[in-house]
Structure 1
C-alpha cells in the first residue's frame, strides 16, 4: 500500500505529514465536487501528455488518462475544458474550473497562485535539426547566440532567459528566445529553419522522434535536470480537494493503474512512488 508523501510548505495549508498512510479504502469527495463533476482544464497540443486522437478527436494522453482514473476513484464525471496553456493558472486562480492537468510543472512562482499534487518527475532536452552544430550542445551556455523556441506560458521561457543573461554577462551573444502558442507551432518553426532549437520535455521530445518530424530533427546532448515535478494544479489552499486528489492518486498507484498508464505513454522513468504536495523546484 503506497504512502501519501505529502508535505505542507509555507503558505500552503497543512494536509498530512510526510509518510502518512494513504486511504485506499475510501476517498472523501470534497464539497467543491458536490455536483458530481471534476472540471479539468487542459491544452491538448502536447503529445504524449495531452492531444487529440486523429480519428475520434477524443482528448487522450497521460494527463487525460490519469484524470479519468482519478475521477473514477472519486465517483465523479470528468469534464475537460480546452484552453491555451498560458491561461491555465490564471483561469484556475479565477475559479473557472476545478483543476488543471496539462504537463504543468510545479514551480515556486506558480505556487503563489495555486497548489500542486505532484505525480511525475520531469526532464528537459533540446530538439534541433539534424546536422546542426547544436547536436553537440551539452549545457545552456552552448545556446548563446542561437534562437531557441519555447511554448507560451512554460517554465522553459524563464530558464532560457536566465541562460541568455549569463551569456551576456560572460561577453557572449544573447539567446534569442522565440515564444510560440503551442508545441506544433514551435516544431513547425524548427523544421522550417526559423529557429535553431526547441526546449521540450524529454518525453514529448521522444514522442516527436516517433513522428515524421524525426526525418528532420534529432535530440541534442543537453539534459536540463532541475529536480522538477509535474503536478495537478488545484485552487490555492483548497485542502479538501487536494486530499481527495492525493487520495485517489494514491489508490491508482497502489492498484497498478498509474504504473500501467505511465508505461503506456512512455513515462516509466518519471514515475513517483507516492503523491507529493508542492514539492517541485
Structure 2
C-alpha cells in the first residue's frame, strides 16, 4: 500500500489485489475488513478524456451512479450480510450526491472490476476507499480526499518499550507478507512472523506472543470500536511515515464534476457532516 486504507478489519484488510482493464489496472492497496490488508486500486492505462463525465448531464439525469464493492466493512457493506447497503464510503458518497442535487444510485461489483467499470461507463464515480497515487492520477480524476489513514504500531496496552518505529529493532511483529507493512516492520529491524492478516496479528499481541504489529490506523480504530472488550488490552504505541489518502474517483477530464465534488466535500467538512460520519464508524474523524 501505497497502503490504502485499511478494511479495518476497514478491521481490516489491507489487501494487494491485481487487476486488468482495458489498459491494465493494477490493484495494490487504503482499505480500512482487515488491514494488514487495506485495499486499493491502481490505474496504469493511458488517460482517455473521451469518457469524461459532465456535471450538467448528471444533474439533468438526476442521478449519480456510484460503483462500490458492497462487501468491504465498514466502508461499503450490507447490514447483517443481506440488509441495506451502508458504510462510511456509502454515507459520504450519498452526502456528496445530495449536495449535487441528485439521487445516489449504487451499483455493486467485485472490487477488481470497479475501475474497469468506470472506464466502460457503467459508473459516474467509484466510492470504495481508492487511494490517490501518481500512477492512478495519470489515468483517473480524483476528488479531494475524504479519508486519511496512517500506519501505526500496535502493542499491548502496558508495553512501554516501544514508542517509535525504530524501537521495533530486535522486537517480534506479525504481518501479512503481501502487505506493505511487512516491509515497514522488516526495514525497522523487526523479526517478522508471517500471518494471514490483522485478526491473527492482533490476537498474538493480546496473547503476549509477539511485541507488536504494524497496520493501518483505520483497521485499529474499527477493531476497538467493534470489540470494546479487547480495546483496553492494546494501544497505538507509535506511527509510521505511511499515509494513505482515499477519494472519489471518476474518468479523466471530468473537471466540472470534480470541482463540484470538491465543493461538496468542503461543505460537508465545514458543517461537521464528515466528522459525524467518521465518528459513526471509527469513533473519531478520519477525514483529515
TM-score of Structure 1 vs Structure 2, range by shorter chain: 0.5 to 0.7
1:241 pairs, out of 250, 257, 261, with 257
Contact residue 123 and residue 225 of structure 1 kept, 8 A: yes
Q: Which residue of structure 1 aligns with residue 217 of structure 2?
A: 202
1:278 corresponding residue in structure 2: none
- Aligned-residue CA RMSD (Å): 4.3
Partner of 2:151: 124
Further displaced range: 262-271 or 60-69:
262-271
Aligned positions of 1:1-281 closer than 5 A: 29-32=55-58, 34-54=60-80, 57-117=83-143, 118-126=145-153, 136=162, 138-139=164-165, 142=168, 147-149=174-176, 157-158=179-180, 160-161=182-183, 164=186, 166=187, 186-190=197-201, 200-212=215-227, 215=230, 218-219=234-235, 221-266=237-282, 268-272=284-288
Describe the shift of the 1:220–1:74 C-alpha distance in structure 2 as closer, same or farther (beyond 3 A): closer
In structure 2, the CA distance between the partners of 1:236 and 1:83, relative to structure 1 (3 Å rule), is same
CA distance in 2, matches of 1:175, 1:32: 49
Give the distance between the partners of 1:65 and 1:239, measured in 2 at CA: 23
Q: How many angstroms apart in 1 are the aligned matches of 2:118 and 2:191?
A: 34
Structure 1 residue 111, shift from structure 2 partner: 1.8
Q: Which has the higher contact order (CA 8 A, sep 6+)?
A: 1
Separation (CA, whole Å) in 2 of partners of 1:29 and 1:121: 26
TM-score (norm. length: structure 2): 0.59
Aligned mates of 1:140, 1:114 — CA distance in 2: 36
Conserved 8 A contact 1:92-1:114: no
Report the CA distance between 1:66 and its aligned residue: 1.3
What displacement does 1:249 show?
A: 2.1
* Post-superposition offset of 1:69: 1.2
Q: Which runs of 5+ in 2 are unaligned?
A: 1-45, 48-53, 205-209
Distance 1:86 1:212, change over 3 A: same
Change (3 A) 1:200 1:192: closer
SS of corresponding position for 2:279: helix
Answer whether contact 1:140 1:163 (CA < 8 A) is retained: no
Aligned length: 231
* Partner SS, residue 209 of structure 1: helix
Task: Report the TM-score, using the length of structure 1 for normalisation.
Answer: 0.61
SS where residue 104 of structure 1 aligns? Answer: strand
Contact 1:125 1:201 in 2 (8 A): yes
Shift of 1:149: 2.4
CA shift in 2, pair 1:227/1:103, >3 Å:
same
